[in-house]
Structure 1
């Protein structure tokens, strides 16, 4: 399968290649970006290269898809989003995303997530998209609820970051709910 490039009004969603390593590192080395990511911030370009390699491997094995968000007007790499724990057979995945702080609160993540949801439900024919967040990540929790996700509950000690365990919220959106919301 060829990597599916997607497009929104302001963003081009592209495969993340080593060409984007420095931009990706610049975002993922910021403490404020990884605070609620479920992993510690990157400290070397090699870590960024390894993650990009894992994105490509995940796609090759049909276990994940991760897009880079390219700002159409400036050509800047401003973040990523993707489908994790992808099961084409089980018709489900989890969505995750991060964005450079300079682009926060401008609707870019909402715009990108809406397009990936459309792709996941219409093209991949998935039935369930889940999301796992830190309870204190108010911006992400509000974004998911605004997009119609249901808060299902609390996963105790689910995330490990900063040498400690953290609880997590779990959200989901079903294809049938998404179809009602987008009519």
Structure 2
């Protein structure tokens, strides 16, 4: 059980089953749910189901209350099983504009970095959610990029901004500035087993799972880099068609680290090496591997 946190004006208590009654008063409000995954709740039972799911899940959730006591006004949480530790926050509309969310987020960041040993935390915020963006930037998160998402209740997709902060930035106060937002290209690899391919990329190549869809998975996303919206991204999609031993497609990963060091780690992990590190005439030092399904990946950086 995680600890109760206290700030000057707030008490943050671990989520409990009976918090559903308080939270329903916020979840039934359409303006509060505009940027959430689901629409406004129509019954307390719907909110209770959500709370039960949060309690059964791998995340860590605190309800937000005033120091004087009273009902739960919202929550701040760490999302479990995410490649980069993710944070979410939610507050009853009647209490917007009081600075409660940023105050609670600061307390949860302190706890996450100091007690949970997190090295970074990430937020995904709808671009239109200006209030949430203001909270992120006020606390000190830096914008890292953007990506496209669509909630099931929406007719069209929307842009989500990725904000992130590292433990070092939080502790040293180096919080200013945002990275330039950019779209990313993510090739889709057809694979006979999405779960096995994702495990190979994570265990052998150092990638992180962004998501797996289905049980067993039929689609998934993996990435190599510090933040979800940066670095090398690959999507994995289930196919029942046989793959050639060496599929006629390859991928180039521009690296931000030492080529030879990565090569040695892959070699020690038993990765199939297609070509050892070589200084190429076009000014890059590169090596190549083949993954568990025969796809070619070349890694390089300026020599």
Assess same fold via TM > 0.5: yes
Q: Where does residue 55 of structure 1 map in the other structure?
A: 54
> Does the C-alpha gap of structure 1 residues 120 and 172 become closer, same or farther in structure 2, counting only changes over 3 Å?
same
Q: Where does residue 81 of structure 1 map in the other structure?
A: 76
Larger radius of gyration: 2
Structure 1 residue 163 corresponds to structure 2 residue 162:
no
Q: CA RMSD in A?
A: 1.7
* CA contact 1:94–1:131 (8 Å) conserved in 2: yes
Q: Which runs of 5+ in 2 are unaligned?
A: 175-303
Question: CA–CA distance in 1 between the matches of 2:10 and 2:139?
Answer: 18
Of residues 136, 143, 147, the one that matches 1:151 is 143
Question: CA–CA distance in 1 between the matches of 2:28 and 2:159?
Answer: 23
- For 1:132-143, list aligned pairs within 5 A: 132-143=124-135
Give the TM-score of the pair, scaled to structure 1.
0.87
TM-aligned CA deviation for residue 86 of structure 1: 4.8
* CA contact 2:60–2:80 (8 Å) conserved in 1: no
Q: Name the SS of the counterpart of 2:140 in structure 1.
A: coil
TM-aligned CA deviation for residue 163 of structure 1: 2.9
TM-aligned CA deviation for residue 3 of structure 1: 2.9
Question: CA–CA distance in 2 between the matches of 1:134 and 1:9?
Answer: 29
Moved more, 31-40 or 113-122: 31-40
TM-aligned CA deviation for residue 125 of structure 1: 1.0
Moved segments of 4+, more than 6 Å? none
Q: Where does residue 89 of structure 2 map in the other structure?
A: 97
Q: Where does residue 72 of structure 1 map in the other structure?
A: 67
> Does the C-alpha gap of structure 1 residues 30 and 161 become closer, same or farther in structure 2, counting only changes over 3 Å?
farther
Deviations, residues 82-101 of structure 1 (Å, cap 9, x unaligned): 111356xx7x4111111111
The total of aligned residue pairs comes to 173
Of residues 110, 113, 116, the one that matches 1:118 is 110
Question: CA–CA distance in 1 between the matches of 2:4 and 2:68?
Answer: 17
Q: Name the SS of the counterpart of 2:128 in structure 1.
A: coil
- The structure whose residues are more often helix, as a share, is 1
* CA contact 1:67–1:81 (8 Å) conserved in 2: yes
Question: CA–CA distance in 2 between the matches of 1:100 and 1:49?
Answer: 16
